[in-house]
Amino acid sequence: MRIGVVTFPGSLDDRDAQRAIRIAGAEPVALWHGEHDLRGVDAIVLPGGFSYGDYLRAGAIASLSPIMAEVIDAANSGMPVLGICNGFQMLTEAHLLEGGLIRNDHGSFICRDQQLRVENTDTVWTSGFTAGQEITIPLKNGEGGFIASAETLAELEGEGRVVVRYVGLNPNGSLNDIAGISNARGNVVGLMPHPEHAVEAGFGPDTASAMRSGTDGLTFFTSAIERMLATA
Amino acid sequence: MPTIVVEVMPKAELLDPQGKAVAGVLGRLGKSRFTSVRLGKRFELTIDGPVDEAVLAEVRELADSVLSNAVIEDVVGIHVVGADSTVGASA
């Protein structure tokens, strides 16, 4: 099982995503934004960071990178694609996911361990969770406010495509507390919080049992791996 | 050298945290007559040669597809500045 992680100029969490994939039991494959080559991977992660310095709009220039032509084709033919933070912004700019991300309503960058509720466990990336499961993974962004038209919002809610929702505090003004969504098919998921930063005890968020012991993010990666193995 | 100016603003119904921050500092400076500030983008596209209708059509297309994101922004103006333009302003 090979999962590609695309590095763009300004990507920050590409190495973390590769590490998460390795810990989850698959082989991470480094992909480069400037190439038209997915190197035969089975799934793709678009990592967090500040591609192109967030110039134009967050994720906008990256969404027009050479490799995105292949990513869009692969996503449309069913390949699992996960966009984390800046990767989520790219997926909206590439029109693989609806809505958009705007500057946090309070105007500040926010970095915290964020509680989420997993509301859709049918997607490739969340099938290992139980419906309604509450998890904690890091969140760190300046432009994480999810917005969409009233019609799009009703469609996302009606079709159960809100994958994860903020619990407790809404950290950025996202409509309906939306932290992540999926496409209709469930193979493309984007979320602002960072599952790849909560995959190994000792390096994750604090939990009730021990400091930095949180590994709730790992299930995003193991879900995709198990789903792909089951359908291989 | 003619320049085509494209102006993009955050959608009116959306919160504009940057504009709000600027409005906040104006208030602290005692400039309280300004009740709100909104902050957008101005693109200047320079072209080597005259600006004709075909060029403007291309700019309009780029303004919608690349320079702005219709989910969060509106293109509020496209106009030509500088010499050699063969057509007038349009928005």
Q: For residue range A154-200, list pLDDT tens digits in order.
A: 999 999 999 999 999 999 999 999 999 999 999 999 999 999 999 99
Q: How far is A139 from chain B (nearest CA, A)?
A: 19
**Average pLDDT of span B39-60:** 95
Q: Which domains does chain B have, with CATH numbers?
A: 3-81 (3.30.1280.10)
A85 is catalytic: yes
With cut-offs at 50, 70 and 90, classify the pLDDT of residue B87. low
pLDDT of residue A107: 87
Task: Please indicate whether residue A197 is annotated as part of the active site.
Answer: no
pLDDT at B86 over 80: no
Q: Which residues of A touch B (CB under 8 A)?
A: 56-57, 60, 64, 92-93, 98-100, 102-107, 145, 147-149, 173
Q: Which of A172, A158, A167, A24 is nearest to A89 (CA)?
A: A172
Regions of chain A where pLDDT drops below 70: none
Report d(CA A3, CA A224) in Å as an integer: 10
Helix runs in chain A, H state only? 14-24, 66-76, 86-93, 150-158, 218-231
| Whether pLDDT at B91 is above 50 | no
Which residues in B lie closer than 8 A to residue A173 (C-beta atoms)?
15
Here the ipTM equals 0.86
| Domains of chain A and any CATH numbers | 2-231 (3.40.50.880)
Please give, rounded to a whole number of angstroms, the shortest distance from the CA of B87 to a CA of chain A: 28
User: What pTM value is reported for the model?
Assistant: 0.94
